[in-house]
Amino acid sequence: MSRNFTPKVVTANALLKGDAIWLTADDRWSRHIHEAELIEDEAHSQIRLLDAMARPGEAVGAYLADAKLGALGPEPVHFREAFRTRGPGNHPHGKQETA
Amino acid sequence: MYHYNDFDRAFLATRNTQFRAQVERRIDGSLTEDEFKPLRLMNGLYLQLHAYMLRVAIPYGTLNSAQMRALAMIAERWDKGYGHFTTRQNIQYNWPELRDVPDMLDALADVGMHAIQTSGNTIRNITADHFAGAAADEVADPRPVAELLRQWSTDHPEFQFLPRKFKIAVTGAEADRAVIRAHDIGIQIRNVDGIIGYRIIIGGGLGRTPMIGQVLADFLPAADLLPYCETIVSVYNLLGRRDNKYKARIKITLHENGIEAIRDLVNERFALIRPQFSGVDQDMLRGIEAQFALPALREGDTSAFEAAKANPTFRAWADTNLATHRHPDYAIVSISLKKHGATPGDATSDQMRIMADLAARFGHDELRISHEQNVILPHVHKSDLPAVHAALKAADLATANIGLISDIIACPGMDYCALATARSIPVAQEIAQRFDDLKLEHEVGPLKIKISGCINACGHHHVGHIGILGLDRAGVENYQITLGGDGTETTVIGERAGPGFAADQIVPAVERLVMAYLDLRRDPAETFIATYRRMGLAPFKAALYPEARADAA
C-alpha cells in the first residue's frame, strides 16, 4: 500500500433514480456510504472503479471519492461528498428523507 | 402571446417520441451513457448531485395561466411539489426520475413548452425584459423579436454544435432589465426619429472571464435583424475556439480579435447571407407581433387602490412591488419569490396555481418570470390590487422586498448543482433573515446582492452591487465579495474586495458593508451603489477588513 494514498470509496449516480450510490465489497450498490467498501490500496481502487464502470445499466459517472473510516463505516472527507450522503440543505429531500 | 401552430406541435411531438425511445434504449442497455448523455442534454436533462434535473425553457419569461398550472402539475406529479425559477427565465425540476422524463416532456408539449436547447453548445432560451409589453418606458415589446429568434434558433441545423453555449437577450427599453450587456448577443430595440431599429451588442458574459458586451451595430435596420444574427453566429461558429472550453465563448473571440476585425468579418459575410433572406422572416414577424398585441385594458375607477394604501402592509407592498405600467390605471405587479429565509426562486405547486389563478382573474392571463427569480403579473388594473395582494398574502407570496437587500439572486449552488464549488442558497437565506431581524431592509433601500456557487456565475455575482462567489478553498467553503457591480444599461463588473470569508463569516461581512454604507451615505436618498460610486472601494474595504485597518494603524 502506498503511504500517500488517501482511502477511497467508489461512488456514482443511480441510472434510474439519479441519486448517489456507493459500491460495496460484495458488489452491491448501496444508498448508504457506511456500507461502501473502503479501499486503502491504489491499485485495488482502480480495479474497483473499472468494476463499477462495467455496470453501465445501474450506475452513471462512477468515480473514486476520498473517504475515512468512522464509527459506522466509511464517511466522506470533502463537504461535497457529505452533501451527497444527505441531500440539499434547503428542503428535507434526498437521502435525509429516509435517514 | 405566441400560440404554437401545427408545425410547432408536430415538431415537438416527433422530438418527444424520439427522446422517449432514446430513454428506453438507455434503460435496456442499447445505448451507453456516453451515447445517451448528449441526447439527454439536448432535451434539457442534466444529472446533478442528488438526482436528475430537468431544465425547462420559458421563452422570454412569458407564460399564460394554463402553462403555469401545467408547471405546477408536473412538479406535483413527477417531482417534489416545487420548481426553481432561474436567472435565465427557465424553471428547473430537481428530482425527476429517468423513466418519468418522457411523460414530463409530453405534459409540457400539451401547453406548448419544452426543454430543448436548455443545455449544450447551442443557442439557449432567448430571454427578455420581464416587463415587456407593459413597461411605461418601452419603445416596443421585445417579445416578438425574441419569438422570431426562438423559432430561428430552435433546431437550427448549423448551430447545434457551436464552440460553446450562446445566450441572446432582448430589451425594448433604454433601461436594461434583461442584462443585455452580459449576453453573447444583446439586442436593444430603438426608436430613432420614428424609425425602429436595433442596437446589437456582442461578446458580453460573466463566468470565468467576465466581460461587458461591445456595440457591433448601433442602429441596425429592422429588416436586417435575422440575417445579421445569423451572420454573427456563423462568424463565431468558424472563428470561436474549440481547443479550450474556457476560451470558447464569443466574448473571448471578440477579445482576441477585436471589435473592428469582427465587424469586418460580419459585414463581409452579411453581404453573402442577406440576399438569402427574402423577407419571409419579416412576414413571420408581423404575424408574431399580432399575437403579442396589448390585451384589451379597461378604463375604470382606481380609488379602491388609493383607499387601500391606508393599510400599512398593503402600502409597503405597493411601494416596493409595483412598477409603472404604460397605462396609468394599471400597474405591473412583481410577486416576490424571496420570502425571508426561503430559497430564492422556488415556488410550490400550490403557489404556482395561485399565481396562475390571479393571472387568469386579474391579469389578462399573463405571467412573466424575471431573471431576478421573481414572478410578474404584467397587467393588473389598480382597482384589483387590494384583492391581488390579499390573495398573495394568503399564499405567503406578499413579501414586500422587490429591489431590496433580501431580493437576492442565488444559483442553486452545491445544494443541488454538480458544478458548484460551494453553497449559495443558505448564504442568501441567512442574509435575508438577518436584515429582516434587524428591521433595516427598508432603511437600507435599493441594493442588489447576487450570489454564485461557482465561477460560472449563474448567480450574476459580478453585476451585483454586492456580489458573492462561493469557492472551495482546500476543502472548505470560502466566499469572495465583489463590490460596485451593475447589471443595467450602465453595466459594470464589480471589483474584488479582498480575501474571502468562511461560511460563518460571510453574513457578518455583508452586515459590516451595509452598516458602513448607512454611515457613509450623504442622505437616505443616496443608494448603496451611488454611495459606492462616489466613495470608491476604500471605505467599504476598511469596513470589511477591520483587522487590516487595525494592523495598519
CATH number at residue B50: 3.90.480.20
Q: Are residues B91 and B147 in the same domain?
A: no
Strand partners, B333: B322, B377
Note whether B94 contacts A93, CB cutoff 8 Å.
yes
CA distance B48 to chain A (A): 8
pLDDT (tens digit per residue) in B99-132 = 999 999 999 999 999 999 999 999 999 999 999 9
Closest residue on chain A to B101 (Cα): A16
Residue A3 predicted with pLDDT over 90: no
Question: What residues contact residue A11 under an 8 Å CB cut-off, 6+ apart?
Answer: A20, A21, A22, A23, A33, A36, A62, A63, A64, A65, A81, A84
Residue B384 predicted with pLDDT over 70: yes
As a three-state string, the secondary structure of B249-294 is CHHHHHHHHCHHHHHHHHHHHHHHHHHHCCCHHHHHHHHHHHHCCC
Q: Does residue A15 contact residue A2 with C-beta atoms inside 8 Å?
A: no
Residue B550 predicted with pLDDT over 70: no
Residue A33, domain member (yes or no): yes
Residue B526, domain member (yes or no): yes
Cell 473502503: give the residue. A38
Q: Are residues B281 and B322 in the same domain?
A: no
Residue B104, domain member (yes or no): yes
The x, y and z cell numbers of residue B33, run together, are 451513457
Residue B117, domain member (yes or no): no
Residue A2 predicted with pLDDT over 80: no
Note whether B27 contacts A16, CB cutoff 8 Å.
yes
- Report pLDDT for A87: 97
CA distance B477 to chain A (A): 8
Candidates B50, B429, B472, B477, partner chain A, best to mutate (most A CBs within 10 A) = B50
- Report pLDDT for A98: 82
Residues in chain B: 553
Residue B135, domain member (yes or no): no
Segment B228-249 mean pLDDT: 97
Strand partners, A8: A39, A66
Residues of B in contact with A89 (CB under 8 A): 415, 423, 425-426
Residues of B in contact with A87 (CB under 8 A): 50
Produce one character per residue of B214-242: b if its CB has 16 or more CB atoms within 10 Å, e if not. Answer: bebbeebebebbbbbbbbbbbbbbebbee
Mean pLDDT of chain B: 97
Which of B80, B94, B98 lies at the smallest CB-CB distance from A15? Answer: B98
Q: Are residues B253 and B324 in the same domain?
A: no
Candidates A22, A84, A91, partner chain B, best to mutate (most B CBs within 10 A) = A91
Candidates A19, A68, A80, partner chain B, best to mutate (most B CBs within 10 A) = A80
- Report pLDDT for B410: 98
Residue B553 predicted with pLDDT over 60: no
Note whether A15 contacts B52, CB cutoff 8 Å.
no
Is B373 in CB contact (< 8 Å) with chain A?
A: no
pLDDT band at B257 (very low <50, low <70, confident <90, very high): very high
Residues of A in contact with B33 (CB under 8 A): 56, 60-61
Q: What pairing do the DSSP bridges indicate for beta strands B168-171 and B185-192?
A: parallel
Residue A99, domain member (yes or no): no
Note whether A56 contacts B416, CB cutoff 8 Å.
no
Which of B29, B49, B346 lies at the smallest CB-CB distance from A83? Answer: B49
Residue B551 predicted with pLDDT over 90: no
CA distance A80 to chain B (A): 7
Residues of B in contact with A60 (CB under 8 A): 33, 47
Q: How far is CA B194 from CA B139, B156, B175, B191, B203, in A?
A: 10, 33, 19, 6, 29
Which of B80, B96, B475 lies at the smallest CB-CB distance from A93? Answer: B80
pLDDT > 90 fraction of chain B, expressed in percent and rounded: 98
The x, y and z cell numbers of residue B404, run together, are 431590496
Q: How far is CA A71 from CA A30, A33, A34, A40, B519, in A?
A: 18, 12, 9, 17, 52
Residue B130, domain member (yes or no): no
State yes or no: ipTM above 0.85. Answer: yes
Q: Are residues B436 and B388 in the same domain?
A: no
Which of A15, A56, A89 lies at the smallest CB-CB distance from B415? Answer: A89
Q: Are residues B328 and B284 in the same domain?
A: no
- Report pLDDT for B548: 74
CA nearest to B123, candidates B186, B157, B167, B61: B167
What is the number of structural domains in chain A?
1
Segment B42-59 mean pLDDT: 98
CB atoms within 10 A of CB B110: 14
Residue B355 predicted with pLDDT over 80: yes
What is the number of structural domains in chain B?
4
Q: Are residues B105 and B177 in the same domain?
A: no
pLDDT (tens digit per residue) in B414-437 = 999 999 999 999 999 999 999 999
Residue B1, domain member (yes or no): no
Q: Are residues B206 and B245 in the same domain?
A: yes
B50: burial class by Cβ within 10 Å (0-12, 13-18, 19+)?
Answer: buried
Note whether B475 contacts A89, CB cutoff 8 Å.
no
Residue B149, domain member (yes or no): yes
Residue A98, domain member (yes or no): no
Residue B169 predicted with pLDDT over 90: yes
- Report pLDDT for B35: 96
Q: Are residues B350 and B426 in the same domain?
A: no
Note whether A79 contacts B32, CB cutoff 8 Å.
no
Segment A38-67 mean pLDDT: 97
Q: Are residues B89 and B185 in the same domain?
A: no
CB pairs under 8 A between A and B: 74
Which of B32, B51, B426 lies at the smallest CB-CB distance from A17? Answer: B51
Note whether A56 contacts B32, CB cutoff 8 Å.
yes
pTM of the model: 0.96
Note whether B425 contacts A90, CB cutoff 8 Å.
yes
Segment B322-339 mean pLDDT: 98
Helix (H) or strand (E) holding B496: strand B495-496
Residue A97, domain member (yes or no): no
Residues of B in contact with A17 (CB under 8 A): 51, 97-98
Residue B133, domain member (yes or no): no
Residue A3, domain member (yes or no): no
> Of B228, B258, B290, which closes a domain?
B290
pLDDT > 70 fraction of chain A, expressed in percent and rounded: 96
Note whether B415 contacts A90, CB cutoff 8 Å.
yes
- Any idea what the Cα angle at residue B415 is, between residues B410 and B417, rounded to 5°? 80
3-state SS class at A17? coil
Q: Which amino acid is at B536?
A: G
pLDDT band at B547 (very low <50, low <70, confident <90, very high): confident
Range of the domain at B517: 409-552
Q: Does residue B446 contact residue B403 with C-beta atoms inside 8 Å?
A: yes
Note whether B50 contacts A61, CB cutoff 8 Å.
no
Range of the domain at A59: 8-90
Segment B254-269 mean pLDDT: 98
Residue B150 predicted with pLDDT over 60: yes
Domain of residue B507, CATH code: 3.30.413.10
Which of B95, B426, B477 lies at the smallest CB-CB distance from A79? Answer: B477
